[in-house]
A and B are shown apart, each in its own frame.
Chain A
Amino acid sequence: MSLNSLERTLDKVLSQKESELISEIDSALQNSLKNLESSKSTLQVEYDAIIESSKKQAENLKRQIIGSSTLNARNKELIIIESAIDEIFTKAKEKLAQSNNEKNYEKLLTKMIQDSVSKLGSDIVIQCNKADQKLVRKISSQEPTGKNMKISVSDDFLDIIGGIKATSVDGTMTLDNTLDSNIESLKPLIRKAIVQLLRGEKK
């Protein structure tokens, strides 16, 4: 083999190697590029997923926070309104307690006593507060009493703002007609009216 041909062969081999090498490098490059690309996209997906889920979480948290804060604010309002209602109530009761001298009150007591007689029948015992005793005695004495009908007024005073409590003589039945308990049973309706006033709503 001549040198020339040897050279040529070497050249050939070399160039072949070279091109092989180049293509190898090239494919490696391509590969790594591809890898990079693909890892990029998976990364992107993961990244998106994380963002998405944290967005969702944030959304949930936001809803939760908004939900509970509006609820808390509402609940505070309820408490404030309630204390206002209580205040109005106390004042109203005080005012009622002072109005025991009015003419209407006597009428009311009369009605209450008559009501007690009709509901409990026969003999009854009436209790009231200290201030009203005189008035109650006066009204009771005016009521028509038969042989089975006796109204006695007890000296056992009640701590109430007004009205009466009647008990049948055997003690089994009581009719509570005190102003206090009447107000108490009307309280839900009165509260509604107060709240409407407070909130400036019309009736």
Chain B
Amino acid sequence: MVIDGVTKASFDELVEIETDEGERRLGKVLEIGFGKAVVQVFEGTTGLAITGTKVKFLGKTMTMPVSQELLGRVFDGLGRPNDGLPDPVADKFLDVNGEPMNPQSREYPTSFIQTGVSVIDGMLTLVRGQKLPIFSGSGMSHNILAAQIARQATVVGTNEDFAVVFAAIGVQYSEAQYFKRSLEESGALRRSVLFINLADDPAIERIITPRVALTVAEYLAFDLGMHVLAILTDMTNYAEALREISAAREEVPGRKGYPGYLYTDLANNYERAGRIKGKSGSVTQMPILSMPADDITHPIPDLTGYITEGQVVLGRDLFRKGIYPPVNVMMSLSRLMKDGVGEGKTRSDHMEVGNQLYDAYSRAQEVRALAEIVGKAGLTGVDLKYLDAGDNFETHFLKQSPDENRNLDETLSRAWDILAALPEGELTKIKDKHIQQYYKGNK
């Protein structure tokens, strides 16, 4: 929306729009100059008449009131109470856009988070301050997985629970409700802050939802010293909203109609994770996005993968086989695992076992493909063992129940069970010392 006769407004300023029917909406200045202001209206421009609409420049950028009191509260996508309770009394008002964290001031993330999910703890370890997205597809069990992680995540060696900041971005009511109930049932709601923008809420509002959520996450982490797990679902809806605005402004599009600044814009959200030297808290981010048509090269997962520190990819095949969590480990990766595991952090064999499992499962996949050509009968002894190990991996290690919380020892013990089916000579990624100590197969 373009407003004429504006001379005193500033870039990024917050604007209140009053329709001729007295309804109030919020917006912000995208462009200002030559007497005109281009304003983005968060709740959409439907029903705005050219005459009769009043615009109020509020003289400040968009802020979010923050305080400890936010825990246990539910807000809408713009950070307004949505639970029938009064506005929170603010300790501070923070600009929702945040400021870039100085790389010099960052503390490199190295503390292991136990999620109780074997495939993540064992092979895709999450560390405090990491940003690890879940790449999913429509209808798959990403929300169940995220909720399980939110309930179970603990920092080993401490009894500290995570505070959960949950931002629902354009999701269905039932999904948001599932998440809320899941937190409620585990008693985690009182250490959670929820922001809910539903599928039928204005799309433009979605631009703000992750920003208010991350503003609160940063406050809880760096002002109050808490460990925060921020879950943003579904970032695809966020990117679509961005595309919509860009198209309305007739900007030159980049790939697939998404604006050229999609990368920068996503980065401005995803980079709001980490640890800071001298502060005890941390923001660990777990954005969820559904890959359009399960296509990992689509700009949204693609650009996300370039920014985040790895990715957990859910696979349609495993999902169809009824395996939960259906994590495609070959396509998944945790970049910070190498720094968060091992002697003194988890267990000295952790990294090697993880690598060996990758290797074994990868070989199993190759053998499976080969078996399709030559038939199972055409396989040699070792190949058959890999085939078994692959099946075993899926049913004994990967698969677990959504309310099953496995500690790291159990996870690693299950890993060794699978490796026991392979001859010792195949375990090329594991040091002799650990084979002596843990290998259960025939020596």
User: Which residues of A line the B interface, CB within 8 A?
Assistant: 60, 63-68, 70-71, 74-75, 78-79, 81-82, 85, 119, 172-174, 176, 185, 188, 191-192, 195
Contact = CB atoms under 8 A, between A and B. Distances in A.
Contacts of B188: 67
A8 B282 CA distance: 94
A63 B86 contact: no
A64 B187 contact: yes
Interface in B62-104: 65, 69, 72, 85-87, 89-91, 93
Contact of B185 (A60, A74, A75, A191): A60
Nearest to A185: B58
A188 B94 CA distance: 13
A78 B190 CA distance: 14
B85 A79 contact: yes
A85 B187 CA distance: 30
B54 interface: yes
A81 B89 contact: yes
Q: What does DSSP make chain B's interface, helix, strand, loop or mixed?
A: loop
A172 B5 CA distance: 9
B89 A192 contact: yes
B65 A188 contact: yes
A68 B187 contact: yes
A87 to B, nearest CB: 13
B91 A67 contact: no
A70 B87 CA distance: 19
Given A70-B190, A75-B72, A82-B86, A64 B185 contact: yes
Contacts of A85: 86
Contacts, number: 58
Contacts of A64: 184-187
Contact of B87 (A75, A172, A188): A188
A82 B8 CA distance: 36
Contacts of A75: 72, 85
Contact of B186 (A60, A70, A78, A176): A60
Interface in B275-334: none
Contacts of A195: 89
Contact of B187 (A63, A74, A185): A63
Given A74-B190, A81-B89, 12 more contacts: A64-B184, A67-B186, A67-B187, A68-B189, A70-B190, A78-B69, A79-B85, A82-B85, A82-B86, A85-B86, A173-B5, A192-B91
Nearest to B89: A195
Given A64-B186, A67-B187, A192 B90 contact: yes
A199 to B, nearest CB: 10
Q: Tell which of A67, A70, A191 has the most Cβ of chain B within 10 Å.
A: A67
A61 to B, nearest CB: 9
A191 B89 contact: yes
B89 A71 contact: no
Nearest to B191: A67
Interface in B355-412: none
Nearest to A173: B5
A192 B72 CA distance: 19
Contacts of A71: 72, 189-190
A68 B188 CA distance: 9
A192 B66 CA distance: 11
Contacts of B185: 60, 64
Nearest to A172: B5
B6 to A, nearest CB: 9
B426 to A, nearest CB: 36
Contacts of B190: 67-68, 70-71, 74
A119 B8 contact: yes
A52 B69 CA distance: 36
A60 B86 CA distance: 30
A188 B80 CA distance: 13
15 contacts: A60-B186, A60-B187, A63-B186, A65-B187, A66-B187, A67-B190, A68-B187, A70-B190, A74-B72, A74-B190, A78-B86, A81-B89, A191-B90, A192-B89, A195-B89
B86 A79 contact: yes
Contacts of B5: 172-173
Contacts of A70: 190
Nearest to B81: A78
Contacts of B72: 71, 74-75
Nearest to A181: B56
A66 B69 CA distance: 18
Contacts of A176: 56
Contacts of B89: 81, 188, 191-192, 195
Contacts of A191: 87, 89-90
Contacts of B69: 74, 78
Nearest to B92: A192
A48 to B, nearest CB: 18
Contacts of B189: 67-68, 71
Nearest to A188: B90
B164 to A, nearest CB: 12
Nearest to A119: B8
Contacts of B184: 64, 67-68
A78 B84 CA distance: 11
A188 B91 CA distance: 10
Contacts of B186: 60, 63-64, 67
